Structure 1
Amino acid sequence: MAELRIRTMTPKNFLSLVVSISLSTAAMAQKSTPIVINTDQLTAKVQPTMWGVFFEDINLGGDGGLYAEMVKNRSFEFTTPLMGWSVKGSKLSEGDVLVLNRGKESPNNPRFLRVNVKNATAKGDVTLTNEGFRGMGIKKGLSYQFSLMYRQAARGIKIHADLLDEQGNSIGSTVLTPSLTGDTWHKADIKFTATEGAQKGKLQLWMEGNGRIDLDMISLFPGDTWKGRAGGLRADMVQMLADMKPGFVRFPGGCIVEGRDLANRYQWKKTIGPIEDRETIINRWNTEFKHRATPDYFQSFGLGFFEYFQMAEDIGAEPLPIINCGMACQYNTAELVPMDELGAYVQDALDLIEFANGDVNTTWGKKRAEMGHPAPFHLKMMGVGNENWGPQYLERLAVFTKAIKAKYPDFKIVNSSGTDPNGARFDLLNTALRQSKADLIDEHYYREPEWFLSNASRYDSYDRNGSKVFAGEYAAQSKGTSSPLTQNNWKSAMAEAAFMTGLERNAGVVNMASYAPLFANVEGWQWTPDMIWVDNLHIYGTPNYYVQKLYSLNKGTDVVSITRDGQPLAGKDSLYASAVIDQKAGQLIVKIVNAANKVQQQDIKLNGTKKPAGAGKLYAMADNDVNAVNNFEKTRNVAPAEEKFSAKGRDLKLSLKPYSFTVIRLPLK
């Protein structure tokens, strides 16, 4: 038997041993299993349409936003005909300014203003002032296009147009003299330049002379519209989209498509042709939220289907129109078109395809050509219904699908899966649509950030050969769905970035995805969160915008295998990852989210025949304050920082900051 020796430990020795063990344990805890990327193992194609944008006229996103018209209620068609206008004058008597209705003569634009001018010589005699959409953003040195429709029996009136600043000072003026007479309506326009700027300016018209004049379509556009188009779109808003290089643009919504009732639904045929012939209707978000009532919210449809198609073409995105399926919003009235009266709705869908793609000799292709675009828009897909549900949706959808596929067999149809990503409503639709081999199923998720983190593996078990998914509307809600307290903070954006790794890993299932809503006016919003915020003169992208942009600009062409311990990295140790190859650029693109509140050291090993070939780039978004936001003062408070990145052989070493989203682009050979 061996001799047993007992050694007495001093306090100093014991402390050294404890420290040694602690350091070893800490080192082991910090050292994680490497992530393995097999660059030869292509698991799915990434569709060119993978990352897109969703537009809806909500939050003053259309009129007062993307559509650059500065005059509110330009044709006096609001429910209150003079809303947005003030009429004053020392030489005005009762009845000198009237809103008249010409009825059947112009059913889409019946109202006009009749002004009786009597010996007006000065600015205060007869004035009409328009407040714009929460004011008018006026830029010093910029030219403005002022126009109107008029009708007069005899000459005798001059119309002075003044841009006013917040104090009522004139900061740009011109004079328009209507010269034509008779019973016919005429258009007159003139350009002039602002001498100063204003955040919340106004347009004031004052009359000089004698006579009676009828006025309609009183309009003011900035000279710096997108591509300089007269009556066009707000350039900085379109530029934010163009900078993303989205794969598609979904329009016009959203619940706008359904309407509160069917009379209020979106009808694309009423949004094309001459601007003055497009019917203004109340925007369904006008009274939807009591906490953000917006009684002056209407749709003039100056931004119509032609303009949507044109914008999508401009920024290189596929158009994705959504059409009404004979159902109004089920949250509001749930009004239905009887099945035997559905034919007109189906014909609208078929006519829309012809409008987009038809030869100039076709009925609707000719209308497109008359609007200045003889070439087709190459429409390939369409959504039938928005967020509709129940058996009544399925039976109407079947009629649309049969008619569209009979005439256009290769045309893709986006199908609604309802309002939620789970539950009986979703299960009914998802099961039925998959059984019918639907092209694309539109899934929506407005949930708390934790839902997005826990659902990064949602599509791992979906059938690769079944119907494809369109993640058509999603946004993490920081304070609860539709709460006015919800913010576009870093926590929500980071959670979306983590969820999107799961969408990208499963690009064989998920073919398209878009955040929603897209735009919001800081003084005219109804819903939060929103991706891009504007006021009359300024714009900024939220942290969510920059997450979307990083994905869209780093889309790649093929998904490659990325695992740790043989499993997808979808939440273990609060890490989320995906990887793609860009075959055209010859680059590997890796996306990693660290949702933990600590730095994580992570090794990545590259397997396969390809290996790193020189320095790449790393883009990182991080903030220790998960409640951090961007605003007009700090537009890039949370935004990507770019740096060079190099691999050591086939090994990549990363130090992932707490609460971070990292994108690496690495050339391969």
Structure 2
Amino acid sequence: FPGGCIIEGNSLATRYQWKNSVGPVENRPLNENRWNYTFKHKAFPDYFQTYGLGFFEYFQLAEDLGAEPLPVISCGLSCQYESNEVVPMDSLQPYVQDALDLIEFANGDTTSVWGKVRAQMGHPAPFGLKMLAVGNEQWGEVYPERLEVFAKAIRQKYPDIQLVGSSGPSASGDRFDYLWPEMKRLGVDLVDEHYYMSPEWFFSNAARYDNYDRKGPKVFAGEYASHHKETQKANNFLSALSEAAFMTGLERNADIVRLATYAPLFAHVDAWQWNPDMIWYDNLRSMRTPNYYVQQLYAMNPGTDVVPLTNNGKPVTGQDSIYASATTDKATGEIIIKIVNANNKEYNASFAIKGLKKNILSDGVMYMLQDNNLLSTNSLDAEKVVPHMSQLPAMGQSLDLNLLPRSFIVARVKTKPIK
């Protein structure tokens, strides 16, 4: 929060300043939105922020959801796509102080300056902030030299706060290749990678993190979505299926990929600037996209530990256009397998889970998102692409499934000892 280029602003003057977003709502100033001038179908810019939902409300929302807040603060660079404004190094201290004050607002004692403000707003207990991102999609030498100043100050005063740095606006290329070593040099805890790419890219990058350096910073897949340009980036089933395949790689490499965020979340059907988006709505109704259901199935079936998986004796990272990952759930004793069949025909799979030992697979349930038409979409009037649940019979030592073409499956299978 507040997300993306909003934190940078079209200019430094229009950057998101968190101190303007707390205190009495009626006293919060209006601010121009970063995307104000990017609506090609509008004659006049009219996209502003009231700060009605500010950092206090954001922290409250995270608390209500049982989620961990991840604020993003300005590093002294305006949006580099829009502007070349850079805060000189000898003038950076107020920006650094804003970062320190935000941590104090979230976690500080009620006797501290900003902890007192939080208490006066009705929340004397600290919010327990653990993470902070500095900058958004910055690039070039100007970014790490400023990030280094922030990192030194934050670690000195708040050594337990995890810092999130950036690898730039794309998943590869010169900017990406320059920034990753810089993030390692600075020792950030997480590196924010962004990718808005084609469905083909998502399928082919399911093994992206298999060989990442386990000794360096972890990964925050901070913004990603499959963009099918042939259909004007519609939220179709193809984009959702490719994301599901890619996410098997995120789950399989959960030791390196700590966080992942589909983006963006909401869009109004009559007032949107960017697509695709996860949830569309009008003034009365909302619609969940196929992409939403992929995210939902992953989020509701995470498991606790990743376990090795093979299909007919082979790895499952895209071989035969089959993608899969497996986890165990310590609380229920279940094995959870997520599977994508990207073929246009049925596929007979036999999944073996390493470590079953003296256990066998018992009965379970299967959730499936499937459509023979890759271009299928949902609408406000009807959600055509939705998951369907069915029962799974007892399996033995392997999970044998006849995978329907163009399908995403989540199987939750119980285990029991071999008698």
What's the TM-score bracket when you normalise by the shorter of the two chains?
over 0.9
Helix, strand or coil for the counterpart of 1:536? coil
Structure 1 residues 642 and 593: CA distance shift in structure 2, 3 A: same
User: Which one of the candidate residues 479, 494, 505 is aligned to 2:241?
Assistant: 494
TM-score by length of 1: 0.61
Q: Does 2:50 match 1:303?
A: no
Q: Aligned partners of 2:203, 2:253: CA distance in 1, in Å?
A: 16
> How far apart are residue 295 of structure 1 and its match?
2.3
Length, aligned pairs only: 415
> How far apart are residue 541 of structure 1 and its match?
1.0
CA contact (8 A) 2:361 2:399 kept: no
User: Which one of the candidate residues 370, 373, 398 is aligned to 1:622?
Assistant: 370
Q: Does 2:183 match 1:440?
A: no
1:46 corresponds to: none
Q: Aligned partners of 2:43, 2:49: CA distance in 1, in Å?
A: 16
User: Which one of the candidate residues 279, 282, 287 is aligned to 1:535?
Assistant: 282
Deviations 1:434-453 (A, max 9, x none): 23332100000001100000
Q: Which amino acid aligns with 1:615?
A: D
Q: Which amino acid aligns with 2:345?
A: K
Structure 1 residues 662 and 610: CA distance shift in structure 2, 3 A: farther
Q: Aligned partners of 1:293, 1:488: CA distance in 2, in Å?
A: 27
Once the two structures are overlaid, the 10-residue window that deviates more, 313-322 or 558-567, is: 558-567
Helix, strand or coil for the counterpart of 2:71? strand
Q: Aligned partners of 1:401, 1:610: CA distance in 2, in Å?
A: 49
CA contact (8 A) 1:418 1:425 kept: yes
> How far apart are residue 285 of structure 1 and its match?
1.1
Q: Which amino acid aligns with 1:621?
A: L
Helix, strand or coil for the counterpart of 2:328? strand
Q: Which amino acid aligns with 1:443?
A: E
> How far apart are residue 336 of structure 1 and its match?
0.7
Could you say which structure has the higher helix fraction? Answer: 2
Structure 1 residues 567 and 349: CA distance shift in structure 2, 3 A: farther
Q: Which amino acid aligns with 2:393?
A: S
Q: Aligned partners of 1:562, 1:606: CA distance in 2, in Å?
A: 5
CA contact (8 A) 1:476 1:495 kept: yes
Q: Which amino acid aligns with 1:460?
A: D
Q: Which amino acid aligns with 2:193?
A: E
2:97 corresponds to: 347
> How far apart are residue 374 of structure 1 and its match?
1.1
Helix, strand or coil for the counterpart of 2:6? coil
User: Which one of the candidate residues 575, 599, 623 is aligned to 2:322?
Assistant: 575
Structure 1 residues 340 and 395: CA distance shift in structure 2, 3 A: same
User: Which one of the candidate residues 359, 378, 381 is aligned to 1:633?
Assistant: 381
Q: Does 2:270 match 1:523?
A: yes
The runs of 5 or more residues in structure 1 that have no matched partner are 1-250
* Amino-acid identity (%): 58
> How far apart are residue 342 of structure 1 and its match?
0.5
> How far apart are residue 646 of structure 1 and its match?
2.4
1:596 corresponds to: 343
Structure 1 residues 612 and 403: CA distance shift in structure 2, 3 A: same
CA contact (8 A) 1:287 1:293 kept: no
Q: Which amino acid aligns with 2:306?
A: V
Helix, strand or coil for the counterpart of 1:514? strand
Q: Aligned partners of 1:324, 1:273: CA distance in 2, in Å?
A: 20
Q: Aligned partners of 2:317, 2:180: CA distance in 1, in Å?
A: 24
> How far apart are residue 668 of structure 1 and its match?
2.5
- How well do the aligned residues superpose, as a CA RMSD in angstroms? 1.5
Q: Does 2:67 match 1:317?
A: yes
Q: Aligned partners of 1:340, 1:446: CA distance in 2, in Å?
A: 35
CA contact (8 A) 1:589 1:666 kept: yes
Deviations 1:321-361 (A, max 9, x none): 10000000000012111111100000100111111111111
Structure 1 residues 355 and 610: CA distance shift in structure 2, 3 A: farther
Structure 1 segment 150-161 matched on structure 2, within 5 A: none
Helix, strand or coil for the counterpart of 2:250? helix
Q: Does 2:360 match 1:360?
A: no
Helix, strand or coil for the counterpart of 1:255? helix
Q: Does 2:166 match 1:419?
A: no
CA contact (8 A) 2:312 2:351 kept: no
Deviations 1:159-198 (A, max 9, x none): xxxxxxxxxxxxxxxxxxxxxxxxxxxxxxxxxxxxxxxx
Say which one has the larger Rg. 1
CA contact (8 A) 2:361 2:396 kept: no
> How far apart are residue 400 of structure 1 and its match?
0.3
Helix, strand or coil for the counterpart of 2:306? strand
Q: Aligned partners of 2:191, 2:315: CA distance in 1, in Å?
A: 24
2:178 corresponds to: 428
Q: Aligned partners of 2:341, 2:65: CA distance in 1, in Å?
A: 32
Q: Which amino acid aligns with 2:136?
A: N
CA contact (8 A) 2:311 2:352 kept: no
Q: Aligned partners of 1:549, 1:489: CA distance in 2, in Å?
A: 16
Q: Which amino acid aligns with 2:329?
A: D
Structure 1 residues 610 and 447: CA distance shift in structure 2, 3 A: farther
Once the two structures are overlaid, the 10-residue window that deviates more, 432-441 or 299-308, is: 432-441
Q: Does 2:363 match 1:609?
A: no
Structure 1 segment 282-297 matched on structure 2, within 5 A: 282-291=32-41, 295-297=45-47
Deviations 1:467-495 (A, max 9, x none): 10000000000117xx9x21100000000
User: Which one of the candidate residues 333, 341, 344 is aligned to 1:586?
Assistant: 333
Q: Does 2:406 match 1:656?
A: no
Q: Which amino acid aligns with 1:423?
A: G
CA contact (8 A) 2:346 2:402 kept: yes
1:404 corresponds to: 154
> How far apart are residue 290 of structure 1 and its match?
2.2
Structure 1 residues 492 and 271: CA distance shift in structure 2, 3 A: same
Deviations 1:278-319 (A, max 9, x none): 001121211124245662211001011111111111111100
Q: Which amino acid aligns with 2:120?
A: E
CA contact (8 A) 1:285 1:294 kept: no
1:555 corresponds to: 302
Q: Aligned partners of 1:518, 1:267: CA distance in 2, in Å?
A: 22
Q: Aligned partners of 1:526, 1:375: CA distance in 2, in Å?
A: 38
Deviations 1:567-606 (A, max 9, x none): 5311111100100111122111000000110111112234
Greater RCO (CA < 8 Å, at least 6 residues apart): 1
User: Which one of the candidate residues 334, 337, 342 is aligned to 2:84?
Assistant: 334
Structure 1 residues 348 and 290: CA distance shift in structure 2, 3 A: same
CA contact (8 A) 2:312 2:349 kept: no
> How far apart are residue 565 of structure 1 and its match?
6.5
> How far apart are residue 614 of structure 1 and its match?
4.0
User: Which one of the candidate residues 375, 380, 395 is aligned to 2:125?
Assistant: 375
Q: Which amino acid aligns with 1:539?
A: S
Q: Aligned partners of 2:83, 2:8: CA distance in 1, in Å?
A: 10
Deviations 1:184-237 (A, max 9, x none): xxxxxxxxxxxxxxxxxxxxxxxxxxxxxxxxxxxxxxxxxxxxxxxxxxxxxx
Structure 1 residues 590 and 390: CA distance shift in structure 2, 3 A: same
CA contact (8 A) 1:498 1:593 kept: yes
Helix, strand or coil for the counterpart of 1:495? helix
> How far apart are residue 408 of structure 1 and its match?
1.2
Once the two structures are overlaid, the 10-residue window that deviates more, 601-610 or 431-440, is: 601-610
1:459 corresponds to: 209
Helix, strand or coil for the counterpart of 1:319? coil
Q: Which amino acid aligns with 2:359?
A: K
Q: Which amino acid aligns with 1:527?
A: W
Q: Aligned partners of 1:402, 1:566: CA distance in 2, in Å?
A: 49
CA contact (8 A) 1:616 1:667 kept: yes
1:393 corresponds to: 143
> How far apart are residue 564 of structure 1 and its match?
3.9
CA contact (8 A) 2:309 2:353 kept: no
Q: Which amino acid aligns with 1:496?
A: E
CA contact (8 A) 2:309 2:351 kept: no
Q: Does 2:391 match 1:644?
A: yes
CA contact (8 A) 1:293 1:526 kept: no
1:510 corresponds to: 257
Deviations 1:625-668 (A, max 9, x none): 10001111113x11111111123222322111111000011122
Structure 1 residues 281 and 446: CA distance shift in structure 2, 3 A: same
